[in-house]
Amino acid sequence: MRRLTGISRLQLLMSAVLVVVIAASGRADEPAHRIASLGGGITEIVYALGEEHRLVARDTTSNHPQPALDLPNVGYIRALSAEGILSVNPDLIIAKEGAGPLETVELLESASIPIVWVPDGFTKDAVLEKIKVVANALGVPTKGDQLVTDVSEKIDAAVQATNAVQATNTDHQPNVLFILSMTGGRIMAAGSQTSADGIITLAGGTNATSVFEGWKPLTDEAVISSQPDVILLMAREGDAAITDEQLFSHPAIAATPAGQNRAVVRLDGMLMTGFSVRTAEAIEKLSAALKETGS
């Protein structure tokens, strides 16, 4: 089979763009019925609205609910494949703010495919705003209002339960270190203005590394000085998993209260960091785990 050169790949991709433009031109006023959902939280909202029958593609982070895994996967949210997206002939793309890369976005925009950008955020208000934006993009604002009310009530109840637990233990809020990765023994941790920081705070913990913003690699000295009571990890399998042996054999971790007490919590990554319709569940599970592990 003849391998495609760089030029022939570009010609093939631009041909696909032309096909999509022609197909889209005759349905500008019709409701979108072939939707690519780019962002795990967005996909969860589409399912919660009962509009999943309109989905034709998802990104790698869209791993819940289980049926979403049957959709064509067009790549990681920040490394999306324009070819993959165009191949499913979408008439609407609903994407998490920050999806990319830029070249892919520009190519999709040149194909005249409508793109609705959903703002990110790590608070209750941000979750409700995401629901409204997705519901409006789908043309189901009434369903959106109903889902907003339901999710808002659930988050309020979860936060109130967490506050009630804190009221009985005012001496100490657990200091939590969220570790994203430990590649080569270098710890990548979550600072403020991150999804991890948001869920830790809602669940009644204190982010041990809130002194900086975003995601950063830590020196051993920074790990030790953060003095976490609990290490928080995403539950992963295979090579991506951080085992107890890897975690607690790390010299800096071993020098912290969490290391000395072997205190670690693992929860589903999208549940914790998606800030979508399951955020109340994330608060409840993390709050309970922190109470049990930190006690």
| Pairing between β-strand 230-234 and β-strand 175-181 as defined by DSSP bridges | parallel
Task: Return the ∠ at Cα 118 (arms to 276 and 209), rounded to 5°.
Answer: 60
Quote the DSSP letter at residue 192: B
- Show the domains of the chain with their CATH numbers: 6-142 (3.40.50.1980), 150-294 (3.40.50.1980)
Q: Does residue 27 surpass a pLDDT of 70?
A: no
Nearest to 291 by CA among 201, 197, 123, 162: 162
Q: Name every residue whose Cβ is closer than 8 Å to that of residue 123 and which is 6 or more positions away in sequence.
A: 198, 275
Surface-to-core class of residue 121, CB atoms within 10 Å of its CB (0-12 exposed, 13-18 middle, 19+ buried): middle
Instruction: Report the pLDDT averaged over residues 122-134.
Output: 98
Instruction: Report the pLDDT averaged over residues 145-160.
Output: 98
Q: Does residue 1 surpass a pLDDT of 70?
A: no
pTM of the model: 0.88
Tokens describing residue 122: 């790590």
Rounded CA-CA distance 242/228 in Å is: 17
Residue 169: pLDDT band (50, 70, 90) is: low
Least confident of 21-25, 128-132, 181-185, 273-277: 21-25
Instruction: Report the pLDDT averaged over residues 247-255.
Output: 97
Task: Quote the mean pLDDT of the chain.
Answer: 90
Q: What is the pLDDT of residue 238?
A: 85
Residue with tokens 């869920």: 199
